[in-house]
Structure formats: C-alpha cells, structure tokens
Chain A
Amino acid sequence: MTLDRTAWMTPERTELLNQPLTESTTLLLHSVRLGRSGSADPWELAATENLVDHTVRLGARPRGTADLIDAIERAELTGHGGAHVPVALKWRAALRPGGPLTIAANGAESEPLSAKDATLMRQRPHLVLDGLALAAEALGARRAVLWLHGDDTGTLYAMQSALTQRRSARSPEPWLEVVNGPGHYLAGESSAIGRALNGGPTLPTARPRQGAPTDGPRSLVHNVETLARVALIARGLPPVRAALRTVLTPVDRQVIEVDDGTPATEVLARTGWLHGGPPQAVLLGGFGGMWAPWLDIEGSTFDEVSLKAAGLSIGAGIIAPLPRGACGVAETAEIAGYLAGMSARQCGPCLFGLPALAQSMRLLADGTAPRGEQARLLDDLRTVAGRGACHHPDGATRLIASALATFEHDFTEHAHGRACNGSRRLTLPVPAVAR
C-alpha cells in the first residue's frame, strides 16, 4: 500500500513538526476556565488533539517493554490521582506472578471540584490512550480499560472518537475498552474500580483478609495524568516537572499546568486570586482532602514534596482557597454533610459515624450546639478514624480534624453560640445530596 505522506501536511502541521520536542512535553494544550461546579465543559471551546496531530507532535507510540519500568523509575514518576505512589513500585508489584491482570486508566474524577483529568482527556485523548496501551504491553495485561465517571458525557465522546481514530489507523496495540462507571462519589476510588472490573460491585475496600486467595484476577489502576506522563517518558522525553491543578476562584474553576517550584502566591495570582486580598485558608485535595491556613502555604509552593514536609497533601491537585469573611466551620459542615450522604453504606463506622460527625458539625456551624458538642465531635473522630471498610470515613475525619486545627478560633466562637455571618454566605460549591 502506498500512502501520500504529504497529503495531511498542512502549513500548521508542518509548523508543529518543526517545533522542538521539549516544548511539547507539557500536558495541556491550553489552560481552561469552567463553571465552579458541575461538568468539566470549558467555557471557551478547547481544541481536541486528533491522532494525526498527536503523531506529528510526538512521533509514533513505541512498544511498551520491561525497560520502560527503569525509565519510569529514573524519571521518579509518582501517581497523580491523589496517593502519590511511585509508579515503578506499582509496576514491579504487578510483574510478580499472579492472576490475570487488568490495567485501568482512571478518568473518573469523583471529587466534585476536580476537572483536571476530564480537561486532559478532552484536549489530548491520545496521550492518555498511549499511556494505557504502553502499560498494558509492558506488564502483559489481559485487559486494558479506560474507566470514566458516569455523568461525564463530554469526556466519553472525546475518548470514543479518539478510539475510533486509532482503530481506523490500524496501529498495532492492545484492545482498549471504555467503561462508563457509575456517577457516585466513590466510583473513582481505585479499589472500587478493581472490584467492578472483576465482576463485583463498584464499592471500595480497604484491605483483604489474611489468607485470601492470591491467584484471583488482579487490577492495576492509574490516574489518566500519570499514564499521559508514561506516554511521554516512553518516547525518551525529559520528565515533566509540572502537574495539572484545578483551582477554584470566586468566579470560576481553572485547570492549569503548574511547574514544580512555582510559589503558591504566583499560582493564585495567575488564576485571578489576590485581587481582593489573600485567602484565609486553602482546601487542598477537595472534599476528601484537608484545610491548611494560608499563612502556612503563603511562602511555600503547592508541590506535593513541600506540602508533605508540612504534613499536608495536594491530593488529586485541587486548590480551593477560602476568602476572608467566609466561615470555615460552616463550609466544613456542608462538606461533612455531603460526605455522609456519599457513604458506600458498607460498614457501621461510616453508616453511623459520618452522619454523627456531620450532625455535630451542623450544630456547631449554626451556633446551636449543646455544651460539650466539640468534645463529642473529637471523640467521634477518634472512634471513626481508621475503622471503615474503605478509606472514605478516613477522608471525612481528616477533613474535619484539619478544620478543627485551621479554624480553631472560629470553632470556639461557634461552640459558645456566637455563630458568624459566614454560615449564610457559603462559598464552596458543595453539591446537594438526597439523604
């Protein structure tokens, strides 16, 4: 078969070809702005890179081999889904003999504030699919699945159209399937995905029993941003020293790519924050994340490494600053109510503990708490933490504990019946849950 190799070389594409490769090692084509809550549809139409442009920009996808693990180890790639586990570690564990392996690219962003994964998949679907195919080849996986959140239609269309392009191009690669998961808060949790793909319920678990069979089907779940980076590393490109972040501002959400070492003040300034003065605190990692006083972050960066040194974590890259004048107690009470409603309803500590925590938070926020309510809240936090069937209650207890430390003064005022006006002006877009 002969191909006219110049037919698709339009001037713009020729220009792309002449760009030095180092410039194409950023993940996003452009930053986007989108609504403060709801779907990841950007306000301005953002281009989706098609297979031709993708191949022109980066060259054809190399085959995934065992050498890729060493390259990933040298690049010190860690996961971008929130847990920041070294990728090489997970791959070496997956290479040990065991049951049939399923690789899942996790594109289900269940944190309602997060939009970075959907934005990446809508802009560069082929980079994500390359990473998934490479991982499946390198680890000899039986199945390679792209797992999406049930209500993210825009991303589903982008990925299906990308898959159609790849299948028409007939490039040799493992069969990639798209699975549209449920739209629940816990549907993006990696253990829930593993269970769902092996025929179980889409519910998370914490740890197996000792003596559980080890030859059963296994699954390896990676965040889509992590796999996109695998696709760049496999091409021998220098590792990206940047990460995708979703920043919540008073008027919109923005998905931006932040270079490592960028001062926190610069990140906020870039997204239009700081016009009305600095925030009082920042919610890192979304509703299952933690609060940190702005003073602790002001002179630092949003890098996981520097946050970890301060006992914090960026989680899945969500930065939600809380303006001055807003009430941290009321915001946390709202989130606690949401998390209680999003329980998997699997175990007692979650089914009874989270509503009790949310109730205590609600009473404190309204300034109607009986004497000793804060002590009871602390007691319940200790009771619930670490006892759930999955890590969902741990996320809720960590959030409330960080709120108690960050808004210590506000909690005291509220506990004495002096609720502030902030409770009536909530700033975080917390989805309503039917309880």
Chain B
Amino acid sequence: MKRRGEDRGAQTWLRVDAAACDGIGLCAHLTPSAVELDRWGFPVIVGRELDRGEVSAARRAVRACPRKALWLETTPAPAPAPTHAWPPMVAPPVS
C-alpha cells in the first residue's frame, strides 16, 4: 500500500511540537541520524529533508512518541518536466 506523501521525489521533513514535547528522548534513539538531544534532553532535528532510510525510522519515532509531539511533513515533488511540446507550458508566477 502506498502511503500518502511517498511519491517519488517528495521531500519529507521531521517536525516536533516543542510545546507538546517533554524531552523523553525516544526519538533520538530511534532516528539517531536525524535527531540529537540538546544538553537538557530535548530533541534537535536536522535541518534537512530525510532520506529514504531515515523516513521509515522517523515514522517509528512518530509512532513511539508518548506525547505525540512528532510528525512528518511532506513538501510536494517538483512538477515533472513536460514530455511533449503542446500545449505550450506557461511558467508559473514567481511567488
């Protein structure tokens, strides 16, 4: 079964709700490459998208968190390049 947000090229980010987090630290054990603990035991999450191996570990960390303070966020994959020349592609407005 394909999970939501697991499209090819989609970027997955691990996020933490600092207000919900109590610094229990399971996340750092389950995803040591993406989460480390600061000197008070609260998670510091890497500032980059996760790679494929990390995503499954991070998903375990999200499920394991007793405070439900973690979640995965996906940013959509960039639109695939057009394979044919018609209809003409209009460049999206730069926001």
Binding site for B on A (CB under 8 A): 205-206, 209-210, 346-350, 352-353, 356, 383, 387-389
Contact = CB atoms under 8 A, between A and B. Distances in A.
Given A210-B71, A383-B38, A348 B44 contact: no
Interface string B35-49: 000111110100000
Contacts of A348: 18, 21-23, 38, 40-42
Contacts of B40: 348, 352-353, 356
Contacts, number: 41
A222 to B, nearest CB: 24
Contact of A347 (B18, B39, B44, B71): B18
Interface string B53-71: 0000000000000000001
- Interface residues of B: mostly helix, strand, loop or mixed? loop
Given A348-B23, A353-B40, 14 more contacts: A205-B19, A209-B71, A210-B15, A210-B71, A347-B21, A347-B42, A348-B38, A348-B41, A350-B18, A383-B44, A387-B18, A387-B42, A388-B18, A389-B17
Interface of B: 15, 17-19, 21-23, 38-42, 44, 71, 73
A389 B42 contact: no
The secondary structure that dominates the A interface is: loop
Contacts of A205: 19
Contact of B18 (A210, A383, A389): A389
A349 B71 contact: no
Contacts of A209: 15, 17, 71
Contacts of A388: 18
A387 B17 CA distance: 9
B66 to A, nearest CB: 15
A352 B42 contact: yes
Contact of A346 (B19, B39, B44): B19
B69 to A, nearest CB: 10
A116 B88 CA distance: 56
Nearest to B72: A210
Contacts of A389: 17-19
Contacts of B73: 210
A349 B44 CA distance: 10
Given A209-B71, A210-B71, A210-B73, A349 B42 contact: yes
Contact of B44 (A206, A356, A387): A387
Contacts of A353: 38, 40
A192 to B, nearest CB: 12
A282 B41 CA distance: 36
B44 to A, nearest CB: 7
A159 to B, nearest CB: 32
A349 B18 contact: yes
A387 B18 CA distance: 7
B19 A347 contact: yes
A352 B37 CA distance: 13
A384 B42 CA distance: 10
A348 B21 CA distance: 8
A244 B85 CA distance: 57
A290 B2 CA distance: 49
A174 to B, nearest CB: 33
